[in-house]
Amino acid sequence: MRAYVEFAVKKFQDKMAYRLDFFMGIVNTAITIVVYLCIYKALYGGATEVDGISYRMVATSFVITLGLSNAFHFNEMFLEHKIHDGSITNEFLKPVSFLFRMLAENIGEGVFKLVFHFLPALLFTLLHTKLCPPKSAPGLIAMFISVAFGYLILWLISFIIQTWSFWLFSVWGIMTIKNVFVNILAGTLLPLWFMPTALRKIISFTPFESIYFTPVRIYLGELNGSQILSGIAVQVLWIVTLGIIANLFWKRGIKKLVVQGG
């Protein structure tokens, strides 16, 4: 475990070396928050609520989702590059799990973006916009647990697509399509409250709702008690399902790599 913590810390330190990226990240995040909140305010047109959803709820949902999307940041071309330059074979000789090493480095980079890109922009936002406070301390703790599970769900989806690099020359196009689906179906651009009922039902049968929207609903108090447990249980179910799929593609991909190398 200590080795993986070191991988995460090293990645965090590497990102700190790029000072321009540090400042531009803050500016980019702050501008994104301001622009989208202005759009939402214009859409509300001075109304307090729309379909029972207040502007403050929408603003809070967007800010939390944006913060999580900063934390849920992965190098999605990592495995493809390792396969193309042949260095993937050297990774198998190291006394650590390649998959957990990837996960640790992704966490390190995500923590950097959360701390140095999102939090300064959030402080700026709080000076201009009132956000909803958490409903309760237990709910806040449950939200953090849900956030961790949401991270794993998105990471596994990304990793599954990365494993397709064993068969495809490039997964960039597929990864781009995946990101579009995440932005739309996970509520990154538009909260799922405003999705058509039929589409919302379809989304509920996918892992996308569990990535960002479940933690947001727990934070806002829309879910409580058994509903929170049910939401987290769904997240765990998706983690197990996606984990099995990821392991299947990974093992078959390694065999494919051996055939190509032989």
Q: Can you tell me the mean pLDDT for 101-122? A: 87
Q: In sequence order, what are the residues at sequence separation of 6 or more whose Cβ sits closer than 8 angstroms to the Cβ of residue 261?
A: 89
Q: Can you tell me the mean pLDDT for 141-167? A: 95
Task: Specify the pTM.
Answer: 0.91
Alpha helices (H) in 72-191, listed in sequence order:
78-84, 88-91, 98-113, 119-126, 137-163, 172-185
For residue 25, pLDDT over 90 is answered with no
Show the CA angle centred on residue 108, arms to residues 104 and 111, nearest 5°.
135
Instruction: Give the pLDDT band (50/70/90) at residue 262.
Output: very low
pLDDT tens digits, 51-84: 888 999 999 999 999 889 988 988 899 899 988 8
pLDDT tens digits, 228-258: 999 999 999 999 999 999 999 999 998 877 5
* Phi, psi angle pair for 53, to nearest 5°: -110, 115
Show the CA angle centred on residue 126, arms to residues 131 and 132, nearest 5°.
10
pLDDT tens digits, 118-137: 888 788 888 878 888 998 89
Q: How far is CA 20 from CA 13, 26, 180, in A?
A: 15, 10, 27
For residue 148, pLDDT over 90 is answered with yes
Ranges of each domain in the chain:
2-261
> How many Cβ atoms are within 10 Å of 198's Cβ, its own excluded?
8
